[in-house]
Amino acid sequence: MSASASASPLPEPPSLDPLTFTPEQFGAVGDGKANDWEPLKSAFAACASADLKPRQRCRILLEKDYLTAPLVISSSYTTLEITGSLAMLPHEEMCKLVNCGDDPSKGDVPGAFISNYAGDCENVVPDGSEDEYSVCLTDVLVTGSGSVFSTNPWRWWFGARFKGMWRPHMFVFHKMQNLRFENLHLRDPVNHFIEISDSVRSRVSGLTMDAPFLSPNSDGLNFYGGFDSVFENSVVTNGDDCATVVPVNEYMDICSDPEVDPSDVRCGGGHAVLRNLTCNGGHGLSVGGVRHGSVRNVTFENITATGGQRGSTQDEAAGGGCRIKSYPNGTGVVQDIRYKDIIFDDVYLPIQILGHYCPFPCNTPDGDQSVKFKDISFENISGRGKQRHTVVELKCSEYSPCENITMTNIKLSSKKQEVGDLTCENVDSLFVDEGSHPNKCQ
């Protein structure tokens, strides 16, 4: 898959009428106040055990307002259709039902409010790739005109800042094939909105994602590893990265092993297109932070990003613009990254490459190696930064200088200057066309 090319369409869904289950069939109240966790689990389980005809899907239809603990999709050819609302229980009520990190007798700690079961898997080689990917569920659709949100999110956010409290992501999907996620309104996640990892042909579109600027770690969408991923036609307002592309398994020993190719599918990421997005007040359009592994073949295009709002937490480590970042003493490569047709309005720093990303409190020790950044282009980037002077910061590592950075038709002004500054450290090769401003390193 070429990141600059149009992503391949997903297969047509089965044409038979779906087999539909609702929580009301299992005793749900659906008033947004009663705890409907057990009826919802029963509806999900009914789909998992359903005897479907060829070319038939199972549908879990949520038409009312439900309050619940975490739920798991465990069947292929499944549609989760939310036309009402799905709300996560408050912290105290949740921890009576599930292991919040302090009671193993209640099972494993849930990683997400909504997730999938990765059980019986098979290896596939997707079109455009030479690598095998393990996939466990196929053709899952999450859709509807409704909303998903947390209850009393400030209790979770306060606990995260001052007590290190466990917090589930809103959605986590792992080892999926032909995942479609579309048209919902998501708000106030207690951690990230969406994480999609190790998946093939993921399509996320038409979402509205809302969280306060002060909400910690409220990333919009994170692609961890995988192949042929698309995020498009969505609006994200939040307190962390708008969208991020990251290697998978970067904490595993194998991905820091010098004998292992960093592009190994077990340690890789990228092969993604992110387009037609509006990002409000968050930390930017990010590749990384990378610790170990590779990110290749990513395009960000036709995006508007804003900053300067009251409460926005954009700063030197969270610039709000195009961001490529790696942690100290990392290994691997970030290559073939393209930012194109992007407008910035008052973001802290429109373009930023950080070879030593480690925001306070930095718990990653320094070393004598670094992730390599190469073959990165910025095209048709315009707007205004919030800093007094700098609008582009290329702060590469002395251990692995940046190579082949290209800037074309860049029109960026700073808070105090019509033409902002471009600052450079450890950049071996940089091309900036004459029509761009800024067009040379300070």
CATH number at residue 306: 2.160.20.10
Measured between alpha carbons, how far is 3 from 346 in angstroms, rounded to an integer? 28
Note the pLDDT tens digit of each residue in 332-366: 999 999 999 999 999 999 999 999 998 877 887 88
Measured between alpha carbons, how far is 301 from 16 in angstroms, rounded to an integer? 37
Quick one: 287 and 398 in the same domain?
yes
Band (pLDDT 50/70/90 cuts) for residue 15 is: low
| Higher-confidence position of 430 and 442 | 430
pLDDT at position 13: 62
Quick one: 83 and 157 in the same domain?
yes
Number of domains in the chain: 2
- Write down which residue in 131, 146, 175 finishes a domain: 175
CA distances from 200 to 74, 230, 290 (A): 17, 10, 21
Other CB atoms within 10 Å distance of the CB of residue 251: 10
Note the pLDDT tens digit of each residue in 128-146: 999 999 999 999 999 999 9
Note the pLDDT tens digit of each residue in 16-56: 899 999 999 999 999 999 999 999 999 999 999 999 998 89
Quick one: 274 and 395 in the same domain?
yes
The model carries a pTM of: 0.95
pLDDT for residue 14 is more than 80: no
236 part of a folded domain: no
Quick one: 148 and 251 in the same domain?
no
Quick one: 273 and 157 in the same domain?
no
Give the domain range for residue 379: 241-442
7 part of a folded domain: no
Range list of H helices, 29-90 = 37-48
pLDDT at position 1: 56
Quick one: 432 and 323 in the same domain?
yes
Determine which helix (DSSP H) or strand (DSSP E) holds 154, and give its type and residue range.
helix 153-163
Range 176-203 average pLDDT: 98
300 part of a folded domain: yes
pLDDT at position 4: 45
Percentage of residues in the chain having pLDDT higher than 70:
97
Note the pLDDT tens digit of each residue in 316-327: 889 999 999 999
Quick one: 159 and 293 in the same domain?
no
202 part of a folded domain: no
144 part of a folded domain: yes
Quick one: 171 and 245 in the same domain?
no
- Write down which residue in 132, 147, 175 finishes a domain: 175
263 part of a folded domain: yes
Range 293-321 average pLDDT: 94
Quick one: 155 and 265 in the same domain?
no
Range 160-176 average pLDDT: 88
Beta bridge partners of 176: 137
Measured between alpha carbons, how far is 173 from 189 in angstroms, rounded to an integer? 16
Measured between alpha carbons, how far is 295 from 373 in angstroms, rounded to an integer? 10
Contact 372, 337 (CB under 8 A): no
pLDDT at position 261: 85
233 part of a folded domain: no
154 part of a folded domain: yes
